[in-house]
Amino acid sequence: MTDIWLESLITDTPQEGFELAIMLSRRGVKYTQPDASVLKSLRPEYATSADALTAASHVIALNFQTIAAANKYWRKKKD
């Protein structure tokens, strides 16, 4: 894929950082399985799996950890 959308991991707030972590996680799935029909067909299976939902939360947490570190756990903006 050549869709360039990520310019920076720097965010103004932890909330924005967490939302970016979710977006990174979702994009990772899209890059791994680009066929939307396959993703839709698998959704009922993982949507009801505690293990799959825990794994998804883990991926989001890892991405948030990376973003938080990039933001020095949240940097103060210089005026």
In the chain, where the domains are located: 14-70
Half-sphere exposure of 11 (CA within 13 A, CB side): 17
- What pLDDT is recorded for position 77? 60
Instruction: Kindly state the percentage of the chain with pLDDT values over 90.
Output: 84
What confidence category does residue 54 fall into, taking pLDDT thresholds of 50, 70 and 90? Answer: very high
Mean pLDDT of the chain: 92
Average confidence (pLDDT) over 33-37? 95
CB 67 within 8 A of CB 25: no
Q: Residues 3-36, buried b or exposed e (16+ Cβ, 10 A)?
A: eeeeeebebeeeeebbebbeebbeeeeeeeeeee
Average confidence (pLDDT) over 2-19? 91
- What pLDDT is recorded for position 35? 96
Residue found by looking up tokens 């949507």 in the block? 47
Question: Model-level pTM?
Answer: 0.84
